[in-house]
Amino acid sequence: MTASQLHPSEQGLGTHQQLGLPPCSSRILFGIRCPACGMTTSWAHFTQGHWWQSVQVNVGGFLLAIVACFVVVVSAACFVNPNLDLMRYQKPAGIAALGITLITLLDWLFRLNQ
């Protein structure tokens, strides 16, 4: 896992720059965090078992990491049982995606007012 090899930024964002990516355009252009600010840092904390820090940095990143774990489990189940009906996961996956998007946006709005 790439995230497990990263050192979470003490500022709670900017960890993605260790991957050679540029700084957040929203912070440069507008001086504010974008909804994804802190997601890489959140994943880095999550993969290292620092779940509370992961939540504190970006709730959406923490929730996406949990979903990624479920995807690994479902993928393994599909490998073991190729006849597994994946369509039964379509609606829960859609609801999870919408929920995580909403929570990420609410978390972002909350952080903008701090």
In the prediction, which pLDDT does 10 show? 77
In the prediction, which pLDDT does 1 show? 57
pLDDT digits (tens, 9 = 90+) for 39-49: 889 999 999 99
Compute the average pLDDT of residues 79-83. 88
Compute the average pLDDT of residues 72-87. 87
In the prediction, which pLDDT does 58 show? 93
- pTM for this one? 0.83
Token look-up 């190729």 returns: 82
**At how many degrees (to 10) do helices 90-112 and 59-80 cross?**
160
List the structure tokens of 62: 């923490």
Please give the angle made by the CA atoms of 102, 105 and 108, to the nearest 5 degrees. Answer: 150
In the prediction, which pLDDT does 105 show? 95
